[in-house]
Amino acid sequence: MKSKLYLLLLILSVTVSCKKDKKDNTDAESGATKMVDALIYPEEIHFKTMRQVTFGGDNAEAYWSFDDQQIIFQSNNKAWNVDCDQMFLMNADETFDSIIPPMISTGKGRTTCAYFLPDNKHFVYGSTHLGADECPETPLRREGKYVWPIYDSYDIFVADLEGNITEQLTTEPGYDAEATVSPMGDKIVFTSMRSGDLELYTMNIDGSDVVQITDELGYDGGAFFSPDGTKLIFRSSRPKTEAEISEYKGLLAEGLVQPTEMELFICNADGSNLKQLTNLGNANWSPFFLPNGKEVLFSSNFEAERGFPFNLYKIGIDGKNLERITHGETFDAFPVFSNDGKYLIFSSNRQNGGGHDTNLFIAEWQD
């Protein structure tokens, strides 16, 4: 699942230092001191401006409406009267440092991965609320190893912006979640356990014409369409050795996956021409196409020695020209471009005072 549990538990397990809010630079000609943007580190040359959107809790999985006027995101902010991830709606120019945004999920169960439909009046999302009103238990570790839960009560629903569920798109037994919508507005890609393994599927936006896209052993998830709707980028674990396969299958039987070793894969929207895009080691995940359709942003800790930090990187769809985008000391992930390509929303631990909050930031992008 495109869960932020990984980042939360990872950062809870370590103590890290934070950069100063602002850095002083001296103008060589005038001798005057300039203040660099408090939210942008000097090395982050692709960010022209940046603003913080949320202030507290864990906020992630933020996605733009097709007209870029609104954003849906998930949060477990206790100050917003939720016990686990629920979906919230905001206008693209809003911030939430003292007010609570409207919740547009049911408030029952746990939710994940809300994504606008083309009419800008409805969205799809995964929810466990049919299984129980309460938040499902979150397993912390198995035999000392970090794991993600794959709740079999997850199904994919359509709701309006008042939170009324208008349609249930999946009814198969087992996990169905991680739905995202093609920029063309015609297809949804999602992850399902219906085959006995975690594979990618596509369907029409009304839930019809379900097609299996991947069929190799391993967790395939977090998929997004390219801007022209012809390709898919996603994260995957690919256990190879007998020990890795045994461990993967054993955890999956418990409804768990271990997300510490993942690489990015790319394929055509029908599953053809599947290729591994990265071979970096550690966890490479939360990929999203750049507006040019020729490059991908993603989060990775491949340069980290102790599991952190996670930073954003850019890579061509040919696997070349890897470039580091963010330069934080803790966590940056879930990058998503606005449909007009001007802005990037992402989750980060920057400016959290050394605490554990993960907030949303919107940056003005420059090539």
Domain ranges of the chain: 5-365
Task: Quote the CA–CA distance of 31 and 198 in Å, as a whole number.
Answer: 59
Please report where in the chains the tokens 């989750």 appear, as a residue.
Answer: 347
What is the model's pLDDT at position 13? 36
Amino acid at 234: F
Structure tokens at 324: 């580091």
For residue 60, which amino acid is it? Answer: A
Please state, as a whole number, how many other Cβ atoms lie within 10 Å of the Cβ of residue 88: 24
pLDDT at position 283:
96
Q: Phi and psi (nearest 5°) for 123?
A: -145, 155
pLDDT reported for residue 1:
53
Structural Rg of the chain based on CA atoms: 20
Give the model's pLDDT for residue 28.
34
Q: Which of 324, 308, 190 is nearest to 260 (CA)?
A: 308
Ranges under pLDDT 70 in the chain? 1-36
Please give the pLDDT value at position 318.
97
Is the bond preceding 259 in cis, omega lying within 30 degrees of 0? Answer: no
The CATH number of 5-365, from 2.60.40.10, 2.120.10.30, 3.30.479.30, 3.40.109.10, is 2.120.10.30
pTM of structure? 0.90
Number of neighbouring beta carbons within 10 Å of residue 145: 11
**d(Cα 51, Cα 93) in Å, to the nearest integer?**
10
Helix, strand, coil shares, percent, the chain, to 5? 5, 40, 55
> Does residue 247 sit in helix, strand or coil?
helix
